[in-house]
Structures are given as structure tokens and as C-alpha cells.
Amino acid sequence: MSFASQNFSPEIVKALTECGYEKLTPVQQKAIPFARRGHDILANAQTGTGKTAAFALPIIQNILDNAKPQQRRQARAVILAPTRELAAQIAANIQDYTKYTAVKTIAIYGGTKMSSQEKVLDSGVDILVATPGRLIEHMDLNNVSLVNLEFLVFDEADRMLDMGFINAIESIMAGVATKPQTMLFSATFSAQMNTLAGKILRQPKRVSVARENVTADTIAHVVYPVEQERKRELLSELIGRKNWQQVLVFVNYKETANELVKELKLDGIKAVLCHGDKAQSARRRALDEFKSGKARVMIATDVAARGLDIQNLPHVVNFDMPFLAEDYVHRIGRTGRAGQRGNAVSFVNRDEELTLQQVETLIGQRIYRKELEGYEPKNRAALLEKMHSKPAFKNRRTRQNNPSDSNQGDAERRSRLRRMIRAKK
Ligand code: AMP
């Protein structure tokens, strides 16, 4: 299905063609026709499916069809995103789609000056992409009002709830005086999410990308069973031996990221960091170096890397298995995007076998295990035997929450991990 056949304006179709978009992705095929007819939408879609265009294009087209001069301190559409990186990415995508139109889009998020954002808001915008906290700051200062809001999007809503934004969302909703067309996109659903959806959506059309598409089928998954203390060597060895040129490595702790950069440097491999302690500008610089090939490796934590759009990324490595099986899906969403081939490599120590099982259940596929001589963990066979025979292991469920990579989040994660390890002993 082509974009031209969806009655998008020639200016949009031209811009999409320049972005390399020819056909609609499945989530776009399902969501765009409903959104064009003005329905609220409740969509289950992961990163990498093309969800940004699925909600953005109908809004852009509607703004073009009902052109109005920009009103001071007002926005016609608000798109809420959990992280700065995702907000910046969404705004950049929309600016690409609207480059041949007069639609004005800005992103506002913490870590950058209020004053420069205030100036842009003062002259009015069509599409405002924001993190919840920063939007409230501007609303409280009367820099922006949502009294005339026409469109509202919650992107990666599960992550917003995980990060504790529920009160912020309620404050924002209190400032919305209209009944905007509202779309909620989320990779996972929980009771809290259903309550939120019930409050903010009116007779939503449900859109879901089928379970078998949870991870793109262009991704090759492989697991290396390995002792924790040999992981660093294994990473260097694989990068060198297989001559990987662009590798995104996920770790669970900022400390691991810092140590790993130093280790890789000793092996002559340039790596950059993307985690919560790094200033916004430093993260952007790291991403630029990684994208341009100046750095061969980027080491990231989950929250900091959320929503980063890196085209054609060939390799994603889970140096640590994520605490939540769902995060595996988010992480490897960076590779195998929009039809490109990708490799998802996971290092699994003894304590991470349980998460691996949960990941396999979630993605509905068994992952190929590759033992590399000299790196195999000891007593792994005995551990697997224990896991398969004890009901306590079999019946364990994937955890539902997922704190940010703030220090508090780290502490929570560590204590949860300790509990999990104790439970396995
Ligand atoms: P998203 O899920 O919105 O983060 O999109 C994932 C990636 O797919 C981004 O790099 C988009 O630019 C790209 N993309 C989105 N829609 C299409 C399409 N119809 N054809 C090709 N690439 C697309």
C-alpha cells in the first residue's frame, strides 16, 4: 500500500519518498485509516515498527487540510514521550515529513534552557513534542496552553508509566479543555495502562501488530553462554574476530558502561557512552560519533537509549540481559529495522538463564545458543536441569515494572536483582 493511495498531500508524499518510505508498514496500514477518520486509537506497537509515522502523518495531513495561523502560546497537537531522546527523535522525524510544508514542530524537554523554548512557544506551534515534566513546567508558567488542543498522542505510554509519570499525565490532562483526538501507543499493557486508556480515550479503535512481529523477522538472535567475568573479553574478541564495525551494547548499570569503555580502549576499540549521568549534549555528541563511524561501539543503558533512531544498525549486544523480558524487544528494536538485516547477540551468565527463558516465551522463539571455546560457564548443564525440574522456576512470571536508570532506579534494580539471585539459589 503506497502513501499516495492514502490521499496524503503531494508535499508529504515527496518528503516520505526522500526518507526512503515506499510502502506503509503494518502498523501504519492499520492505524492511518482510522486516524484519518478522526478516531481515537489504542495501539500495541513496538519501536521499529514505524509507529511514529503512523500517528504523525494523519495529524500533519489534518493540520494541512484545516490550515490556521499559529496562535501565540498555543499548540494544535501535543505528542508526549517518556525521554528526551525519543522526543527529539519524534520531532526530527516530523520535521522531515513536513519539510515541504509550513507546519511548525518543536520538541521541549528537560536538560535544555527554558528561555529558548519559551521564545518559540510564544509565537505558537502546530505540533509540540514534549516530555511530561517539561511540558508541565511551561504550562505552569503560562508559556503554553492546551485549551485549543486538537490532537494528543502518548508514545511509549508503558515507559511513561514505568517512569512514574502518571501524576504528570493527570496534570496535563487537567489543562486540556477540548476533546482532542487521542492516540495511545504502547509496547506492553498492564492494569494501570488499561485504567489510563479508559480515562483518556473515547471508543478507541484497537490496533495491534501481530505477536509474531514482536521482533522483526530480519533479526538473527544468538546467545553466548558465558561467565560474568569473561564477558568483557568475549565482547572484544567478537568485535575483533568478526570485524563488527558498528555495535550498540546494552548494559544494566552506568558503572558497567564506564568500565567497559576503558576495557575496549585497551584493546584499541573506540567506544562512546550513552547513560543517564551524561549531559544531553554529551549523549548527542556520542550518538553523532557512533552514527558517523568515528566510534565503533556505543554503550548504553535502557532508559538513555530509549527511542534513539539509528538507521541500518547491524549489531546489538546485550552485554547484560535486561531485567525485563520486554526490554529485550525494545533493545533489539534498534537492529533489523524497516527491512534491514540485523544481529541480536546476548551474553548470558548463569543467573541470567531465567530471563533468557522469559525472553524466549515473549518472542515465541527459541534462541540459538553458541558456545565459544574457553568462555562456557561452569556447571551450566546442572543449572538448566534445576530450572526445568523445579516448579518455582517454571512458574516464575516476567516482572511488570521498570524503573528509570536514575540512581534510585539503579538501587531498586540492584535489590530486585539480588532478590532474584537469592531465589535461584
Ligand atoms: P519507528 O518505529 O517510528 O521508530 O520507526 C522505525 C524506523 O522505520 C525509522 O527509522 C523510520 O524512519 C522507519 N520507517 C517508518 N516508516 C517507514 C516506511 N513506511 N518505510 C520505510 N521505513 C520506515
Domain boundary residue among 208, 230, 252? 208
**CA of 45 relative to ligand 1 center, distance in Å:** 12
Percent of the chain whose pLDDT exceeds 90? 56
| Same domain assignment for residues 233 and 175 | no
Closest residue (by CA) to atom 4 of ligand 1? 48
For residues 144 and 40, the answer to whether their CB atoms sit within 8 Å is no
| Same domain assignment for residues 282 and 153 | no
Q: Which domain holds residue 67?
A: 4-208
Grid cell locating 217: 523477522
Closest residue (by CA) to atom 13 of ligand 1? 50
Q: pLDDT tens, 288-329? A: 899 889 999 999 988 777 656 666 688 999 999 998 887 888
For residues 79 and 90, the answer to whether their CB atoms sit within 8 Å is yes
| Same domain assignment for residues 194 and 333 | no
Give the model's pLDDT for residue 425.
35
Amino acid at 168: A
Q: Work out the pLDDT band at 82, boundaries 50, 70, 90.
A: very high
For residues 187 and 330, the answer to whether their CB atoms sit within 8 Å is yes
Inside any domain, residue 214: no
> Would you say residue 336 has pLDDT above 50?
yes
| Same domain assignment for residues 56 and 130 | yes
Closest residue (by CA) to atom 21 of ligand 1? 21
Domains of the chain: total:
2
What are the residues whose beta carbons fall under 8 Å from the beta carbon of 321, sequence distance 6 or more? 328, 346, 347, 348, 352, 355, 356, 359
> Would you say residue 424 has pLDDT above 50?
no
> Would you say residue 393 has pLDDT above 50?
no
Inside any domain, residue 422: no
Q: What is the pTM of this model?
A: 0.60
| CATH code assigned at 268 | 3.40.50.300
Q: Work out the pLDDT band at 361, boundaries 50, 70, 90.
A: confident
Alpha-carbon gap, residue 371 to 349, rounded angstroms: 12
Q: Which residue of 6, 16, 49 sits with most ligand 1 atoms within 8 Å of its CB, as the best mutation to test the pocket?
A: 49
Give the nearest ligand 1 atom to 3 CA: 19
Inside any domain, residue 224: yes
| Same domain assignment for residues 113 and 170 | yes
Q: Which residues pair with 272 in a beta bridge?
A: 298
| Same domain assignment for residues 238 and 146 | no
Q: Work out the pLDDT band at 379, boundaries 50, 70, 90.
A: low
| Cβ(252) – ligand 1 distance below 6 Å | no
Give the nearest ligand 1 atom to 24 CA: 19
Inside any domain, residue 19: yes
**CA of 3 relative to ligand 1 center, distance in Å:** 13
Alpha-carbon gap, residue 319 to 92, rounded angstroms: 30
- Higher model confidence: residue 114 or residue 276? 114
Inside any domain, residue 114: yes
Alpha-carbon gap, residue 161 to 326, rounded angstroms: 14
Inside any domain, residue 158: yes
Domain boundary residue among 152, 173, 208? 208
For residues 151 and 119, the answer to whether their CB atoms sit within 8 Å is no
Give the nearest ligand 1 atom to 23 CA: 19
Q: pLDDT tens, 236-272? A: 999 988 889 899 999 999 899 999 999 999 999 999 9
Residue with cell 525494545: 330
| Cβ(49) – ligand 1 distance below 6 Å | yes
| Same domain assignment for residues 204 and 239 | no
Residue 349, classified by CB atoms within 10 Å of its CB into exposed (0-12), middle (13-18) or buried (19+), is: middle
CA dist 356 → 118, 194, 332 (Å): 46, 27, 14
| Same domain assignment for residues 287 and 381 | yes
Inside any domain, residue 31: yes
Q: Work out the pLDDT band at 414, boundaries 50, 70, 90.
A: very low
| Cβ(46) – ligand 1 distance below 6 Å | no
| Same domain assignment for residues 99 and 238 | no
Inside any domain, residue 414: no
Closest residue (by CA) to atom 11 of ligand 1? 50
| Cβ(155) – ligand 1 distance below 6 Å | no
Domain boundary residue among 208, 237, 255? 208
> Would you say residue 389 has pLDDT above 60?
no
Q: Choose among 290, 245, 287, 239: nearest CA to 263.
A: 239
DSSP states along 358-416: HHHHHHTSPPEE-PPTTTPPTTHHHHHHHHHH-HHHHT---------SSHHHHHHHHHH
Q: Work out the pLDDT band at 220, boundaries 50, 70, 90.
A: confident
| Same domain assignment for residues 162 and 131 | yes
| Same domain assignment for residues 341 and 229 | yes
| Same domain assignment for residues 165 and 230 | no
| Cβ(151) – ligand 1 distance below 6 Å | no
- Higher model confidence: residue 177 or residue 390? 177
Grid cell locating 173: 490532562
> Would you say residue 59 has pLDDT above 50?
yes
